[in-house]
Structures are given as structure tokens and as C-alpha cells.
């Protein structure tokens, strides 16, 4: 499958899921437009059409849609425009057709995650910011085994000590999935 086909297939899936969630046609179209623009930029910057990170932002949105039942267009559009681990793969935010609300969600996550004490910042953040941060973290966690092994232990510790407690105070299903991942990854990949 070509890169364009992968991006279009994911965009089609996002369309279907957003439609099922009740987003209006304008929101679905914007959702697709932002995702496609982001994915094409990510693919060009990564330089590998098969790289797992190309579709990261879409998977974050799918976690919000499918696991958390989110129907907020602003939150879903912000999801496809956010990457806190690899922001250098992202287009400049000013190039994306984002509303102030969407941009504020992204800024809220970036600010909390990059702070010296992310757990405190995230726990103090608004519920939508926490949902977005936890969902994005979950997708990065699910693909950690594809990253260099030197990143495994520190990211696992961050997820389990900072993001899991936030998830537990934010959304039961996301907390369950993140908790399962913490145990599974430790047992499967971090055995010493």
C-alpha cells in the first residue's frame, strides 16, 4: 500500500468514526483536512512511508473516539494536530486551519507535558486537556517497542508514574488500557 493510500485509508476511517460519533459534515471535512495535511508533512519529514509515527495523530483521535466516546470536534481536531514526543515531525501550527479553542487544547497539553512536574500540571488541567494528553500518551506507549531501546525504560517510567495517575482521574477505560500497557510492557520488554 502506498503512503497516499495509507493516509487516505486512515482519513476514510476517521470520517466513518467521526460520522458515527455525530460530528456534522463540516467538522468531519475539517477533521480530514487537518489530518491529511499533518500526515503528509509527517511522512515527508520522517522520510519513511512505513514509519509508525506517520499515522500517530490519527490513532490518538481514534482512541478518543473509540475508547473515550469523545464527540467534541475541537478535541478531535486538536488530536490530529498534536505530537508531544516528536514535534519536529509536525507542520507549523500556523499552517493549520485551527480555531483558538483547538489551539488552546494543543497548547495546554504541550505546556503540561513539557513542565518540570507534568503530573501536577496535568492533574490541574481541564478535563479535555487531560483526555487529549492521556490519549496521545497511550498511542506513543503502544508503539514504544518500535523506538530505540534506550528510550524504553525512561518513557515507561514516565507513563506509569505521571500519565497513569492522570488517566485514573480522567477516564476509566483509558486508565484501564494504560494500566494494562504498563504491566505488559514491563513484563515483556523490561525484564532484567
pLDDT in tens, 67-93: 999 999 999 999 999 999 999 999 988
Distance CA 49, CA 55 (A): 10
Distance CA 113, CA 5 (A): 33
Taking only the tens place, the pLDDT of each residue in 148-177 is 999 999 999 999 999 999 999 999 999 999
Q: Which domain holds residue 77?
A: 3-89+97-189
Report how many domains make up the chain.
1
Across the range 12-38, mean pLDDT stands at: 95
- What pLDDT score does 100 carry? 97
For residue 55, the domain's CATH number is 1.10.3210.10
Nearest to 134 by CA among 152, 116, 119: 119
Amino acid at each position: 500500500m502506498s503512503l497516499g493510500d495509507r493516509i487516505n485509508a486512515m482519513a476514510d476511517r476517521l470520517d466513518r468514526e467521526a460520522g458515527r460519533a455525530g460530528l456534522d459534515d463540516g467538522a468531519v471535512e475539517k477533521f480530514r483536512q487537518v489530518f491529511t495535511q499533518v500526515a503528509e508533512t509527517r511522512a515527508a519529514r520522517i522520510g519513511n512511508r512505513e514509519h509508525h509515527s506517520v499515522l500517530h495523530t490519527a490513532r490518538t483521535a481514534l482512541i478518543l473516539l473509540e475508547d473515550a466516546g469523545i464527540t467534541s470536534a475541537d478535541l478531535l481536531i486538536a488530536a490530529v494536530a498534536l505530537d508531544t514526543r516528536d514535534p519536529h515531525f509536525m507542520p507549523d501550527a500556523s499552517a493549520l486551519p485551527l480555531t483558538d479553542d483547538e489551539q488552546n487544547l494543543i497548547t495546554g497539553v504541550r505546556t503540561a507535558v513539557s513542565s518540570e512536574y507534568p503530573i501536577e500540571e496535568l492533574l490541574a488541567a481541564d478535563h479535555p486537556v487531560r483526555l487529549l494528553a492521556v490519549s496521545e500518551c497511550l498511542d506513543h506507549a503502544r508503539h514504544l517497542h518500535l523506538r530505540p531501546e534506550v528510550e524504553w525504560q525512561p518513557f515507561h517510567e514516565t507513563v506509569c508514574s505521571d500519565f497513569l495517575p492522570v488517566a485514573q482521574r480522567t477516564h476509566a477505560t483509558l486508565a484501564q488500557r494504560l494500566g494494562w500497557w504498563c504491566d505488559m510492557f514491563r513484563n515483556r520488554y523490561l525484564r532484567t
